Structure 1
Amino acid sequence: MGEILIGTCSWTDKALVSSGWYPPSRRDAEGRLRHYAEQFPVVEVDATYYAVPSMRNSLLWAERTPPGFRFDVKAFSLLTGHPTRTAALPPDLRGVGRDSGDPGLLDEVWDRFSGALRPLRQAGRLGTVLFQFPPWFTPGTRAEILLHGARKRAAQWPMAVEFRHPDWWRDDHRARTTALLKDLDVAAVAVDTAQDLPTSIPPVTPVASRELAVVRFHGRSTTWGTGSKEDRFRHTYAGGELEEWLPRLTSLAAEVEQLHVLFNNCCADAAVRAAESMTRLLASHGDRRAATG
């Protein structure tokens, strides 16, 4: 049975910071991370999707967390084909005439992103790099070529892939998707979302890597995929909604060395409360491998 690490998809989200979850004495940058790492053993770094991270931040994150803590780092938007604002690029890469299709720009961003993660990797804190592909990234030859290209560039990283188009995990394509990810040696990301929408991702739990599997709980808002961030992820998980995942999680953990369970319903303290509840449920379910901070 693999180790189950439970956490959230951010520790710096403004709604969480203002919710009162952090003690008054620990609301500066260092205090928040140290407090979070005392409660949970894993966190997703969401900010790296919006801006290229810095080596300095990676060094600080490693220094402020204990051995065994893991950061799952979300790939910068440009690396997964999402629209990327010029203002999101490092200042010296915002030259006139440069856009997201510039091969030289893409090469430089890959190099900087990789370099920034090095301190986390050297400190044993890097869990995986999460490549979340956009809803228009559909199954097919072109997508598979792009995935192979991304894996080649990220050969030195542990890598996980989340698809936002449901066809990747529908019954008629699931086996091919799993085989593709196994061939790439990347972890598959399972998701929990509302299931009554055209864009709903099936709640399947494929295993593509024996080292790691990831499950991300996005909440069950019926506006998932549209509207504001608060609309998309506003959801408070009920006990029964979490309990239905217990057999899936224990089954996954039986096939991998480590399972990361991350809550992305990031409105106020809903994500940390859901993570706490899932930790208790797994413990009462008899799985003593569910780790806390």
Structure 2
Amino acid sequence: MSSVINPIQIGVCGWGDHDLYPPGTQAREKLAIYAGHFPVVEVDSTFYAIAPVERMERWVNETPESFRFVVKAYRELTGHGRLEKAPVRPWRELVEDMRVSLEPMLRAGKLEAVLFQFPPWYDCSQKHVKYIRRVREAFRDVPVAVEFRNQSWFYPDFHDKTLRLLEQEQCIHVICDEPQAGEGSVPLVVAATVPEQAIVRFHGRNVAGWNNTGQPNWRDVRYAYRYEEAELAEWVGYVRQLEQRVKRITLLFNNNSQGDAVDSANLMMRLLGVEFAGLAPRQLGIF
């Protein structure tokens, strides 16, 4: 197991499309370079397809001992449904395939959490509460993080019950910095539900682009946002609060539709005054 040497970890979502790499860098070379800049990354591709074990093992081997991964759960396990032409498969089979896929990271101590990001229509209802409990049971020995995208979970009548549910099930509450754009967004709730860690995801604050307006490039537009320094400075106090409650904090920037995530992550590092230990050696070609 790798030890936690960075109580505050900062990274971005995905490692392929950022301004970190020298011209001509091959896709297979990027993770090793990324790991010279940040100690944690979110794996987004697993939302679209469960990664083969061999690929997960390669990512483990390409990163330093202390590097961490937050892995998004496959979309059929989070209520998003199947991709077009994907085969129909039993739920238990999907769970088992996901568990097998995660095993190399679990074994190496590099799995920070598996992220269950539920869709905007996933409201606070009895059937969805039951499903979260079912997921937790299926992944009982895995750190599970839950992100809501429906405002109802944090209505005044449900706010405390939602956090209590996550505490009881030992699920990590994913704190979101995102546009306040109606039912399909959640408010900022700076609360930790497990003592081991807290996870914060920064989606930007593009209110106008957050909801689907029928535009074909909507998914690109919704994360197009450059945080101002004053906006991220607000988070210094929140992070200090969380430090009193958990052993480590992971901050992930997802505002990358226009390439802003790395700059935001670097700015947050400066504002918090953190430096990371255990990074991969930087290649001379990137200077």
Pair in the same fold by TM > 0.5: yes
Give the CA RMSD over aligned residues. Answer: 1.8
Shift of 1:258: 1.3
CA distance in 1, matches of 2:236, 2:164: 25
Is 2:216 the counterpart of 1:226?
no
Question: Which of 149, 159, 170 is 2:144 aligned to?
Answer: 159
**Deviates most, 219-228 or 231-240:** 219-228
Q: How many residues align?
A: 269
CA distance in 1, matches of 2:101, 2:181: 40
Shift of 1:249: 1.3
Name structure 2 gaps, 5 residues minimum: 1-5, 280-287
CA distance in 2, matches of 1:290, 1:254: 20
CA distance in 2, matches of 1:196, 1:85: 26
Question: Which of 171, 177, 196 is 2:162 aligned to?
Answer: 177
CA distance in 1, matches of 2:166, 2:222: 27
Question: Which of 240, 244, 257 is 1:250 aligned to?
Answer: 240
TM-score (norm 2): 0.88
Q: Name the residue aligned to 2:8.
A: 4
C-alpha change, 1:246 and 1:193, in structure 2 (3 Å) is same
CA distance in 1, matches of 2:177, 2:10: 15
Shift of 1:235: 0.4
- CA deviation profile, 1:12-33 (whole Å, cap 9, x unmatched): 24xx3xxx431236x2233210
Q: Name the residue aligned to 1:58.
A: 56
Q: Name the residue aligned to 2:231.
A: 241
C-alpha change, 1:196 and 1:148, in structure 2 (3 Å) is closer
C-alpha change, 1:176 and 1:290, in structure 2 (3 Å) is farther
Q: Name the residue aligned to 2:21.
A: 22
CA distance in 2, matches of 1:169, 1:249: 21
Q: Name the residue aligned to 1:71.
A: 69
CA distance in 2, matches of 1:151, 1:272: 32
CA distance in 2, matches of 1:80, 1:200: 16
- CA deviation profile, 1:31-51 (whole Å, cap 9, x unmatched): 210111110010000000011
Query: Which runs of structure 2 are paired with 1:261-280 in the superposition (5 Å)?
Result: 261-280=251-270
Please say if residues 4 and 260 of structure 1, whose CA atoms lie closer than 8 Å, have aligned partners that are also in contact.
yes
Please say if residues 198 and 249 of structure 2, whose CA atoms lie closer than 8 Å, have aligned partners that are also in contact.
yes
- CA deviation profile, 1:57-96 (whole Å, cap 9, x unmatched): 1101000000111000000000011121154x4xxxx2xx
Shift of 1:259: 0.8
Q: Name the residue aligned to 1:84.
A: 82
Structure having the higher helix fraction is 1
Name structure 1 gaps, 5 residues minimum: 99-103
Shift of 1:140: 2.2
CA distance in 2, matches of 1:9, 1:192: 14
Please say if residues 166 and 199 of structure 1, whose CA atoms lie closer than 8 Å, have aligned partners that are also in contact.
yes
Shift of 1:127: 0.6
TM-score (norm 1): 0.87
C-alpha change, 1:4 and 1:281, in structure 2 (3 Å) is same
3-state DSSP class of the match of 1:244?
Answer: helix
Q: Name the residue aligned to 2:30.
A: 32
CA distance in 2, matches of 1:251, 1:37: 28
- Residue identity in the other structure for 1:74: K
Percent identity, please: 36
- Residue identity in the other structure for 2:251: V
